[in-house]
Amino acid sequence: MIWLLALALAQTRAEVAALAEKLPRSHAELVKLGPPALRFLCELPSRPAVKDAMFEIKTDARSREKLSRELTLRTVEFPLAEIDERVGAFLETPFVVDLGLAPEKRNRRIAFAPGKFDAVLRSFLEPAGLDYAVVRGRILVSTPDRLWSYPPDRVRVLSPEESAALKESIAKLGDESVQARDDAAAAILDAGVSAVPFLEEALRAPGLEGDRRARIVDLVRRIQARRAPAPFASGLVLERQKANDLDRIALEALRERKTRLTIESTLEGAVALVARAAALEADVPRPAADRRVGVTLGDMPVLDALYFLLASFDLDAALVNGRLTVGPTAEVEKRAATK
């Protein structure tokens, strides 16, 4: 894809930020980077030109037309979690709110007022640190870190000059100036995984003061977290696994059958209800199986209902001889490969 090729030229926060500074002249070049640029863009100061670029990246032509229209709808306040039941049918736009969000975010009071559809959504999502993406034909509401993955870091050997500059930045994490510490942290984050050995070396140094140690540990955590894919950034394992005849029949049922459910249950019970709509059985491991779920899944393919349900809890699913097996991605990939 074009954006994957372009991404090789602009993988770091600094490079995306440089293009953002040239907006609107760089709009077309920035849009070509595609979804992997979104995590960096959403971290930049809010400007209309940045929002315009993000809007074009995260929507397809059909949803872009719908989200660009002027709304005349005005509502009283209601919980964000009820947005699909309250306005989805009226706006002819299905919504899904991430079940994994903290209760205070899912229950945040929102209201629709006249205006451009996209701007209305952003008016009540952004103050709560939320955003939306168009996923499987629905507007999915979650936090940016759960919607979009960072692009993969390029692991490379640093030059002597780059190594020296990186060590200087790590030293400045103990500077008395907040600005100096912030600038140093930004430079270290831009180095990505190449900075981790230097950070780990600094942690082994004797006499490392507590505040600086805490900042180094936090940077290692943030860099490593960027390597993990966002929960909603890819499909389920069962959609890409090597399938036998039983698995192909089961996948066809998941894609072709539809369901509409209101669920107040454990996650194990919720997955069982969704799977039953495709005449399948499912295995959900503990402790995830015991998590409480309260949700209404609008009319959608069973496969999509399963996806939104599992991704909300950072879980995945594979098919093993026609039976659903649920768990973390690495585990279900292993089960699918060794069946």
Q: What is the mean pLDDT of residues 88-109?
A: 94
Alpha-carbon distance 290 to 43, whole Å?
A: 35
Average pLDDT over residues 10-14: 62
At 9 the pLDDT is 40
**Is 323 among the domain residues?**
yes
- Per cent of the chain over pLDDT 70 is 94
Taking only the tens place, the pLDDT of each residue in 205-237 is: 888 888 889 999 989 888 877 767 788 988 999
Say if residue 14's pLDDT is above 80.
no
77 and 182 within one domain:
no
3-state helix/strand/coil string of 52-83: HHHHHHHCCHHHHHHHCCEECCCCCCEEHHHH
- Tell me the C-alpha distance between 40 and 11, whole Å: 9
My answer on whether 25 and 46 are in the same domain is yes
* Confidence tier at 256 by pLDDT (50, 70, 90): very high
Average pLDDT, the chain: 89
**Least confident stretch, 195-209, 216-230, 249-263, 317-331:** 216-230
Structure tokens at 273: 């209800």
Same domain, 203 and 266: no
Last residue of a domain, one of 126, 147, 168: 147
pLDDT at 275: 94
39 or 92: which carries more pLDDT confidence? Answer: 92
Q: Using 50, 70 and 90 to split pLDDT, how confident is the model at 10? A: very low
Do 130 and 7 lie in a common domain?
yes
Verify that 220 and 241 share a domain, yes or no.
no
166 or 1: which leads in pLDDT: 166
**What's the rounded Cα separation, in Å, for the pair 229 and 245?**
30
Pick the more confident residue, 152 or 318: 318
Instruction: Tell me the backbone φ, ψ of residue 160, rounded to 5 degrees.
Output: -55, -40
pLDDT value, residue 331: 92
Residues 264 and 319 grouped into a single domain: yes
* Contacts of 228 by beta carbon, 8 Å cutoff, 6+ apart: 149
- One domain for residues 20 and 99: yes
Amino acid at 323: R
In the chain, the number of structural domains is 3
Output b/e per residue, 94-127; b: 16+ Cβ within 10 A.
bbbbbbbbeeebbebebebeebebbebbbebbee
* 168 domain-assigned: yes
pLDDT digits (tens, 9 = 90+) for 263-318: 899 999 999 999 999 999 999 988 888 999 888 888 999 999 999 999 999 999 99
Torsion region of 136: left, alpha or beta (phi above 0 gives left; psi -120 to 50 gives alpha): left
Nearest to 326 by CA among 310, 304, 308: 310
For the chain, where are the alpha helices, taking DSSP H only? 2-7, 13-21, 27-31, 38-41, 48-58, 61-67, 83, 89-91, 103-106, 117-125, 144-147, 160-171, 178-191, 196-203, 210-225, 245-256, 267-276, 302-311, 329-338
Residue 2: which pLDDT band, with cuts at 50, 70 and 90? very low
Tell me: do 166 and 138 sit in the same domain.
no
d(CA 248, CA 227): 31
φ/ψ (deg, to 5) at 78:
-155, 165
115 and 245 fall within a common domain: no
On the question of pLDDT at 239 being above 50, the answer is yes
What the block records as the tokens of 196 is: 């981790």
Residue-range definition of the domain harbouring residue 286 = 237-338
Dihedral of alpha carbons 116, 117, 118, 123, sign: positive
User: Looking at the domain assignment, is residue 77 inside a domain?
Assistant: yes
Question: Which range is least confidently modeled, 34-38, 149-153, 237-241?
Answer: 149-153
pLDDT at 143: 94
Whether 230 is in a domain gets the answer no
Q: What CATH number did the domain enclosing 302 receive?
A: 3.55.50.60
Confirm whether 153 is domain-assigned: no
Question: 289 CB contacts (<8 Å, ≥6 apart)?
Answer: 266, 267, 268
> Is position 24 within any domain?
yes
Write the CA distances from 113 to 119, 121, 123, 193, 267, integer angstroms: 10, 10, 10, 44, 35
pLDDT in tens, 50-97: 999 999 999 988 899 999 999 999 999 999 999 999 999 999 999 999
